[in-house]
Amino acid sequence: MVFLLTGIEARGFIFGPPIALAIGAKFVPLRKPKKLPGEVISEEYTLEYGSDRLEMHVGAVNKGERALVVDDLIATGGTLCAAMNLLGNFYHK
């Protein structure tokens, strides 16, 4: 059973919430830096042309929750790896 669904900015926000609603999971947005209020955890990743960061609220994921990551495109896989690392940081605490 999937407990939460993460959507990567920005198109993950279009696909993620309806899927989360349909499967009864909570939705957790993964955003670019300085877009989320409150305390966040971040992960840097490499793009074809440089680097960027993803952020997620601290406390959005609980240890042992199964997650599904939603995005619209995988180019280099850097964003997906950053999302997995963010989720993994919560699982190992």
pLDDT reading at 92 higher than 60: no
What is the domain extent for residue 78?
4-91
For residue range 40-55, list pLDDT tens digits in order.
Answer: 999 999 888 888 999 9
pLDDT for the residue 90: 63
Q: Which residues contact 89 (CB under 8 A, 6 or more apart)?
A: 41, 43
Q: Is 66 a catalytic residue?
A: no
The secondary structure of 55-74 as a DSSP string is EEETTSS-TT--EEEE-S--
Q: What is the mean pLDDT of residues 54-70?
A: 91
- Helix runs in 1-93, H state only: 12-23, 78-91
pTM: 0.85
Q: What is the mean pLDDT of residues 9-24?
A: 94
Phi and psi (nearest 5°) for 82?
-65, -40
Point out the catalytic residue in the list 31, 43, 44, 48.
48
Q: Is 53 a catalytic residue?
A: no
Give the type of residue at 60.
A
Point out the catalytic residue in the list 11, 44, 53, 65.
11
Domain count, the chain: 1
For residue 18, give the CATH number of its domain: 3.40.50.2020
pLDDT for the residue 10: 87
